[in-house]
């Protein structure tokens, strides 16, 4: 119930209660006054009758008492006046009155007890007040009752019954009560009007406060209270209006600044409080996220953290994080649905080798298929588990160009939600972008330091850093490794005959040929000069000696185009295995080097597998040479 209705109900209730109370008191008082007046009237009439009868007895005119009673009943309002004798008077004088033989039960009780009886009865002529008054003998005064009656003092000689009509009193009561009711009603109406007038500022202020607070609760601080009184309500209204102006100005400025920081467009019907709170909470989470990203050691940890953010903060279950390499126009999926180095799932794989085919990479704009299903032809999923899905691709800039693309895949019926969440997702990605770019640059620099600049193969430093990890993984999985050390035969003659440029060309050609003959999981390392090393994980179908012979034959058949024609070269290879030929990889490398030395010593262009016999050098070993 509203306050105005409550105040109206209160004033009406108070007025009504006052009317009822006053009327009740008036009725009770008037009834009491009427009964008291009637009682006194009855006593007066009874006393007149007693005195008249006593005078009649003294004057010996008692025989005329009937006429006296008849004349008495003619008095206005007096309906009945009846006298009955007590037993002592009857015994002394007889029952000379006709009505004496019709004594009622009340009269008998009054004659017996000597106590007057009064009562209201409903008669034929309306409400009637009945009073029965006893005549008690007394020796006080003159004439003395004991002078005529042979009784003792206090004896009940008789009783008189008087019936008074209450109609006139009733009419007067109704008129009086009606007048009082009208007066009280007018007073109640005046009281209600005056009360409502006095309480009106409170009601108006309360209504204004309710409207202003209701709007403020929805983030709208433009509401004002239109009351300018000088009382306390006016001060409340003035202070609340000032508060709303302050909030509208300052919170609006804060919301605007935070939205600019987040690059989030505030709409006209936006709840300013809720939106600002959400943005500030997001900025706090972003700050914590940024610190965690900066403290991550590797770029893979950063990508995993971004994926965790998408899942935990925004409920994205299906997504891809792509890494863009602008130099070779390639895109690489680094994490898909929280799986590192997972193959491309949601897009056509053609974008991997042709980055410009990706619309987000090409334009640098957010690509949203929620509203425009055909905006990107490379998104190749229409439904997931029977539910239609769309995608939002978010390009992440690194130094002005697209460095990463974050793709979220969401059900179409939740698309509007993720469109609204997009500014919050982008602020996470934007804050992590410098860290991702820096770690990618560091990885590039580190990769450069770990690669041979001429051949593009990993160098000996890479082997030294990677070896501990390789050994731990191999031991944990119970795998076997083969290590191949190979050396170009008579490479010094190439440099001496054709020059170092041709020598470099030969090395690059050999590196390319080696890379084409091994698996992705195998490692090809330029070990030093014209020496190369291959580390492979063995299986029953794939062993070191088999690969070594395959490489040797391939190099023997290789034709290297040089400025003066075609050059052919051969390769000597030494093979050893881990852990069969050593407990440490460096021991195995030494064993493979002994096998390579044996291949050189025994004629070159061949593969030699390490055996324990090679640990004892032959007598002519000092005549062999490397190269």
Instruction: Summarize pLDDT for 501-532 with one digit per residue, the tens.
Output: 999 999 999 999 999 998 877 889 999 888 99
CB distance 334 to 323 below 8 Å: yes
In a domain, 592, yes or no: yes
Ranked by mean pLDDT, the top range of 23-27, 108-112, 249-253, 375-379 is 375-379
CB distance 228 to 240 below 8 Å: no
pLDDT of 343 > 50? The answer is yes
Three-state secondary structure along 190-236?
Answer: HHHHHHHHHHHHHHHHHHHHHHHHHHHHCCCCCCCCCCCCCCHHHHH
Q: What is the pLDDT of residue 167?
A: 80
Please tell me whether residues 382 and 411 are part of one structural domain: yes
pLDDT of 608 > 90? The answer is yes
pLDDT of 575 > 90? The answer is yes
Please tell me whether residues 350 and 487 are part of one structural domain: no
Closest CA to 479 of 545, 535, 551: 535
**Mean pLDDT throughout 295-318?**
91
User: What is the chain's mean pLDDT, rounded?
Assistant: 83
Look at residue 290 and give its three-state secondary structure.
helix
In a domain, 429, yes or no: yes
Q: What is the pLDDT of residue 622?
A: 47
In a domain, 242, yes or no: no
Q: DSSP letter at 606?
A: S
Please tell me whether residues 611 and 579 are part of one structural domain: yes
Please tell me whether residues 463 and 610 are part of one structural domain: yes
Please tell me whether residues 95 and 164 are part of one structural domain: yes
Please tell me whether residues 466 and 429 are part of one structural domain: no
Q: How many domains does the chain have?
A: 3
The residue segments making up the domain with residue 339 are: 296-449
Confidence of residue 315 (pLDDT cuts 50, 70, 90): very high
Domain-terminating residue out of 152, 172, 192? 172
User: The CATH number of the domain where 131 resides is what?
Assistant: 3.30.450
Measured CA distances, 109 to 129, 132, 192 (Å): 18, 10, 55
pLDDT of 272 > 70? The answer is no
Please tell me whether residues 473 and 440 are part of one structural domain: no
Residues belonging to the chain: 627
Q: Which residues contact 93 (CB under 8 A, 6 or more apart)?
A: 85
pLDDT of 269 > 70? The answer is no
Please tell me whether residues 436 and 531 are part of one structural domain: no
Domain-terminating residue out of 143, 172, 201? 172
**Mean pLDDT throughout 333-360?**
90
User: The CATH number of the domain where 370 resides is what?
Assistant: 3.30.450.40
Confidence of residue 143 (pLDDT cuts 50, 70, 90): low
Write out the two tokens for 476: 């944990």
Q: Facing residues of 332 across strands?
A: 323
Q: Which residues contact 18 (CB under 8 A, 6 or more apart)?
A: 184, 187, 188, 191
Write out the two tokens for 524: 């090809």
Closest CA to 484 of 607, 613, 581, 569: 607
Question: What string of DSSP letters covers 143-168?
Answer: S-GGGTS-S-TT-EEEEEEEEEE-HH
More confident residue, 250 or 440: 440
**Cα separation of the two ends of the chain:** 104
Please tell me whether residues 409 and 538 are part of one structural domain: no
Q: What is the pLDDT of residue 623?
A: 43
Q: What is the pLDDT of residue 196?
A: 73
pLDDT of 271 > 70? The answer is no
Please tell me whether residues 16 and 145 are part of one structural domain: yes
Please tell me whether residues 396 and 489 are part of one structural domain: no
Please tell me whether residues 33 and 164 are part of one structural domain: yes
In a domain, 183, yes or no: no
User: The CATH number of the domain where 499 resides is what?
Assistant: 3.30.70.270
In a domain, 219, yes or no: no
In a domain, 210, yes or no: no
Closest CA to 381 of 428, 425, 337: 337
Instruction: Give the containing element (helix H, strand E) for 608.
Output: strand 607-609
pLDDT of 625 > 60? The answer is no
Instruction: Provide the sign of the torsion angle of the four alpha carbons 343, 344, 350, 356, taken in this order.
Output: negative
In a domain, 269, yes or no: no
Domain-terminating residue out of 401, 421, 449? 449
Q: Percent of the chain scored above 90 by pLDDT?
A: 25
Q: What is the pLDDT of residue 469?
A: 81
Q: Which residues contact 316 (CB under 8 A, 6 or more apart)?
A: 310, 408, 409, 410, 418
The model's pLDDT over 459-488, given as tens digits with 9 standing for 90+, comes to 888 888 888 888 888 888 888 899 999 999
Confidence of residue 533 (pLDDT cuts 50, 70, 90): very high
pLDDT of 372 > 50? The answer is yes
In a domain, 585, yes or no: yes
**Mean pLDDT throughout 5-16?**
74
pLDDT of 100 > 70? The answer is no
pLDDT of 233 > 80? The answer is no
**Mean pLDDT throughout 370-398?**
88
Q: Which residues contact 238 (CB under 8 A, 6 or more apart)?
A: 228
């Amino acid at each position: 119930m509203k306050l105005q209705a409550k105040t109206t109900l209160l004033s009406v209730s108070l007025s009504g209660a006052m009317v009822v109370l006053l009327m009740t008191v008036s009725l009770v008082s008037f009834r009491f006054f009427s009964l008291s007046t009637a009682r006194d009237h009855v006593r007066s009439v009874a006393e007149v009758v007693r005195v008249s009868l006593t005078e009649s007895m003294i004057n010996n005119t008692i025989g005329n008492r009937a006429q006296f009673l008849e004349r008495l009943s003619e008095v206005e309002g007096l309906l009945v006046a009846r006298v009955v004798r007590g037993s002592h008077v009857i015994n002394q004088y007889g029952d000379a009155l006709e009505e004496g033989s019709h004594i009622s039960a009340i009269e008998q009780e009054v004659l017996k007890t000597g106590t007057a009886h009064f009562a209201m009865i409903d008669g034929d002529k309306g409400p009637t007040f009945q009073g029965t008054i006893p005549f008690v003998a007394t020796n006080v005064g003159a004439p003395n009752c004991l002078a005529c009656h042979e009784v003792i003092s206090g004896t009940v000689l008789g009783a008189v019954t008087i019936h008074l009509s209450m109609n006139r009193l009733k009419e007067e009561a109704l008129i009086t009560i009606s007048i009082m009711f009208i007066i009280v009603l007018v007073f109640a109406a005046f009281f209600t009007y005056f009360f409502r007038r006095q309480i009106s500022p409170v009601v108006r202020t309360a209504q204004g406060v309710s409207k202003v607070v209701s709007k403020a609760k929805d983030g709208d601080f433009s509401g004002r209270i239109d009351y300018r009184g000088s009382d306390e309500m006016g001060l409340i209204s003035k202070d609340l209006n000032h508060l709303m102006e302050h909030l509208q100005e300052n919170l609006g400025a804060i919301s605007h600044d935070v939205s600019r920081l987040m690059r989030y467009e505030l709409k006209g019907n936006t709840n300013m409080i809720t939106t600002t709170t959400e943005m500030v909470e997001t900025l706090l989470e972003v700050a914590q996220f940024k610190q965690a990203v900066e403290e991550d050691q590797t770029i893979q940890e950063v990508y995993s953290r971004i994926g965790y953010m998408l899942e935990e903060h925004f409920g994205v279950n299906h997504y891809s994080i792509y890494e863009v390499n602008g130099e070779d126009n390639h895109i690489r999926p680094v994490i898909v649905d929280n799986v590192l180095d997972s193959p491309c799932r949601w897009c056509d794989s053609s974008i991997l080798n042709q980055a410009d085919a990706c619309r987000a990479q090409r334009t640098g704009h957010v690509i949203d298929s929620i509203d425009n299903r055909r905006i990107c032809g490379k998104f190749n999923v229409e439904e997931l588990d029977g539910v239609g899905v769309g995608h939002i691709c978010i390009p992440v800039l690194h130094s002005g160009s697209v460095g990463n693309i974050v793709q979220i895949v969401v059900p179409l019926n939740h698309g509007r939600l993720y469109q609204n969440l997009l500014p919050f997702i982008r602020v996470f990605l934007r804050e992590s972008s410098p860290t991702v770019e820096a770690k990618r640059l560091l990885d590039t620099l580190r990769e450069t330091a770990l690669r041979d600049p001429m051949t593009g193969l990993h160098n000996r430093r890479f082997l030294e850093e990677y070896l501990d990890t390789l050994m731990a993984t191999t031991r944990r999985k119970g795998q076997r490794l083969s290590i191949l050390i190979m050396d170009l035969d008579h490479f010094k003659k190439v440099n001496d005959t054709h020059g170092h440029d041709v020598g470099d060309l030969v090395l690059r050609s050999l590196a390319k040929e080696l890379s084409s003959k091994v698996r992705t999981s195998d490692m090809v390392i330029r070990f030093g000069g014209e020496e190369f090393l291959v580390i492979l994980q063995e299986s029953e179908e794939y062993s070191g000696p088999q690969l070594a012979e395959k490489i040797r034959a391939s190099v023997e058949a290789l034709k290297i185009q040089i400025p003066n024609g075609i050059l052919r070269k051969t390769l000597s290879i030494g093979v050893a295995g881990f852990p069969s030929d050593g407990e440490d990889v460096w021991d195995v490398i030494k064993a493979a080097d002994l096998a390579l030395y044996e291949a050189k010593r025994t004629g070159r262009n061949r593969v030699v597998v390490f055996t324990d016999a090679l640990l004892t050098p032959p007598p002519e070993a000092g005549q062999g040479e490397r190269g």
